Amino acid sequence: MAVRVVVIGGSFGGLTVASELRRRLSPERAEITLIARDRRFTFVPSLTWVATGERTLDRISFDLAGPLKSQGISFVPAAVTAIDPARKVVAADGVEHPYDFLVVATGHRSANEAVPGLGPGDGPGHSPMSPAEAEELAGAIRTLLVRPGPVVIGAAPGASCLGPAYELAFELDHLLRRRRLRHLVPLSFVTPEPFLGHMGMGGAGRIRQLLEGAFEERDIAYRTSAAITKISDDAVEMGAGAPLPSVLSIVIPPLAGVPVVAATPGLANAKGFVPVEAHFRQAALDGVYAVGVAVALPPADETEVAVNFPKTGHMTEQMAVMAARDIVARLEGREASSSPLSARCVMDMGDRGIYMAVDPVRPPRNRIPRVSEGRRWRLVKLAFERAYLWSAQRGRRPPTAVGW
Ligand SMILES: Cc1cc2nc3c(=O)[nH]c(=O)nc-3n(C[C@H](O)[C@H](O)[C@H](O)COP(=O)(O)OP(=O)(O)OC[C@H]3O[C@@H](n4cnc5c(N)ncnc54)[C@H](O)[C@@H]3O)c2cc1C
């Protein structure tokens, strides 16, 4: 009888696990079902470009049904409402899906309740953390172009996804200079990180010096070890120092696990993230794995204001491949290998980019981090977006070496 694998989540983690399993297991050996709340795959790294008007959601997303069908993966476009690890079933849209192996790749919930005013939806703050939020932010940026004023960009205490905050600071600066409005918009960057470029991973080579220089060159004021305590319509308040006036506040929230994962007894930690061991197995529950942002990873170091460990797209993909290989190895009665996560990513700056490669992500590292800045990196990021969408939309394995 074919083994039943259920994957929850249709983004980088879920798609990679399902495709990798299908490449290694024929339909006779494994029935693979992917359940996703969102019918469309969205290329999340491009959400900052949706916010600045460089992209539409349509251009960076596609319907999952076609590519999954072409790979022989069953697709259920529905939200999972219950997971029962004792009975080994998940429920979505009133239908129960039994599994032998379950992979949780459900990403995050924005924990906007952590700071009064984080938003949108919950407060006047803005963020690019989901397609809907990025579109809302695009509207707010259009308003800023008509009614310019001070802007605060940054992250709340406990945030882990810091890259998009830096990208938006540089991208907005670039957009405003192109429109000759920059002189009307004081731009401040506020971060819980102890220094620029800490990124929740203890920094990387000369990224700190590079970012400090880039902010100073571009007249972007910055505060580090800053704990944002409140966001109102016209200011951002912090534990220490005077409030910063702001007509537009873009603040990355801390993240938590999605409600159904958080609510499943024995599956997740207090924040709703799934603790895993080296092969991304949830050690306490038989046959259960988690990958991507849904996974619990401890902070890299202790900081004055909390900063959590990053979970990038490139890391998500490595987790997904390791989890899939482990499932195959268990079916074949052998042990799969695992390795520490590394990361490569490109930070967009509007007209150029910064490339960072760290191996492993968590210091101390085997390799001296590679950090490089230039126009070519933005071109690499643009090419990667195009290549990823082109391949994934056709059910093919996207190229993933550089460009995230
Ligand atoms: C604005 C932004 C920019 C970023 N830029 C970069 C970058 O440049 N480079 C980089 O490497 N990383 C970047 N990241 C991080 C990267 O996007 C994440 O690491 C990646 O999206 C994680 O993938 P995932 O599959 O774990 O989760 P997600 O992408 O969050 O996807 C979660 C999936 O789970 C589904 N789901 C959730 N709940 C349920 C439920 N109850 N039932 C069924 N399905 C459910 C959703 O529909 C979705 O399909 C960025 C993140 C953001 C927000």
* Mutate which of 76, 130, 311, 312 for ligand 1 pocket (most atoms within 8 A of beta carbon): 312
pTM above 0.75, yes or no: yes
Q: Is residue 400 part of a domain?
A: no
Q: Which atom of ligand 1 is least distant from the CA of 164?
A: 3
Pairing of strands 255-256, 109-110: antiparallel
pLDDT reading at 76 higher than 80: yes
Q: Is 246 a domain residue? A: yes
Domain extent at residue 288: 3-109+256-338
Residue 325 placed within a domain = yes
CB under 8 Å, gap of 24 or more: what pairs does 328-337 form? 328/21, 328/24, 328/25, 331/3, 331/25, 331/29, 336/279
Is residue 2 scored above 90 in pLDDT?
A: yes
Protein residues whose CB sits closer than 6 Å to any atom of ligand 1: 8-14, 35-38, 44-45, 47-48, 79-80, 105-108, 128-129, 161, 163-164, 258, 260, 292-294, 311-314, 316, 345, 404
Distance from residue 44's CA to the centre of ligand 1 (Å): 6
Distance 37 CA to ligand 1 centre (A): 12
Q: Kindly report, residue by residue over 133-182, the tens digit of the pLDDT.
A: 999 999 999 999 999 999 999 999 999 999 999 999 999 999 999 999 99
- Considering the domain architecture, whether residues 222 and 289 belong to the same structural domain is answered as no
How much of the chain is in helix, strand and coil states, percent to nearest 5? Answer: 30, 25, 45
What's the pLDDT tens digit per position in 196-216?
999 999 999 999 999 999 999
First to last CA, the chain: 39
Q: Is the predicted pLDDT of residue 64 greater than 80, yes or no?
A: yes
In a domain, 21, yes or no: yes
Residue 272 covered by a domain? yes
Q: Are residues 154 and 29 in the same domain?
A: no
Which of 253, 268, 285 is at the close of a domain?
253
CA distance 356 to 201: 12
Q: Are residues 65 and 133 both part of a single domain?
A: no
Q: Are 32 and 73 in contact (CB under 8 A)?
A: yes
Average confidence (pLDDT) over 186-195: 98
Q: What is the pLDDT of residues 303-347, one digit of tens each?
A: 999 999 999 999 999 999 999 999 999 999 998 999 999 999 999
Confidence category of residue 400, pLDDT binned at 50, 70, 90: confident
- For residue 158, being part of any structural domain is answered with yes
Residue 401 has pLDDT above 80, yes or no: no
Question: Same domain, yes or no, for 246 and 287?
Answer: no
* Cα 171 to the center of its chain, rounded Å: 18
For residues 241 and 313, state if they share a domain.
no
Number of domains in the chain: 2
Tell me if 362 is assigned to some domain.
no
pLDDT of residue 91: 98
Does 94 share its domain with 62? yes
Atom of ligand 1 nearest to the CA of 311: 19
304 and 184 fall within a common domain: no
Ligand 1 centroid distance, CA of 288 (Å): 20
- Which of 81, 106, 129, 384 has most ligand 1 atoms within 8 Å of CB, for mutation? 106
Residue 18 structure tokens: 């399902």
pLDDT(375) > 80 = yes
Which of 338, 360, 393 terminates a domain? The answer is: 338
Q: Does one domain contain both 101 and 153?
A: no
Q: 346: which strand partners?
A: 355
| Percent of the chain's residues with pLDDT above 90 | 97
Ligand 1 atom, smallest distance to 36 CA? 44
Same domain, 39 and 166: no
In-domain check, residue 377? no
Separation of alpha carbons 192 and 84, rounded Å: 37
Residue 38 backbone dihedrals phi, psi, to 5 degrees: -95, 125
In this predicted structure, the answer to whether residue 399 has a pLDDT above a threshold of 90 is no
**Of the candidates 338, 357, 389, which is a domain's last residue?**
338
- Give the atom of ligand 1 at the shortest distance from the alpha carbon of 10: 49
Q: Residue 241 has what pLDDT?
A: 86
- Do residues 121 and 247 share a domain? yes
pLDDT confidence band for 235 (50 / 70 / 90): very high
Report DSSP letters for 204-222, one per residue.
-TTHHHHHHHHHHHTTEEE
Centre of ligand 1 to C-alpha 24, Å, is 24
CATH number at residue 136: 3.50.50.60
Give the CA distances from residue 241 to residues 190, 222, 224, 236, 237, in Å, rounded to whole numbers and listed in that order. Answer: 12, 12, 12, 11, 8
239 C-alpha vs ligand 1 centroid, how far in Å?
A: 30
68 and 105 share one domain? yes
What is residue 386's three-state secondary structure? helix
Q: Which residues are catalytic?
A: 161, 345
**Residue 95 phi, psi (nearest 5):** -110, 135
- Say if residue 332 is in the same domain as residue 260: yes
Asked if omega into 360 is within 30° of 0 (cis), the reply is yes
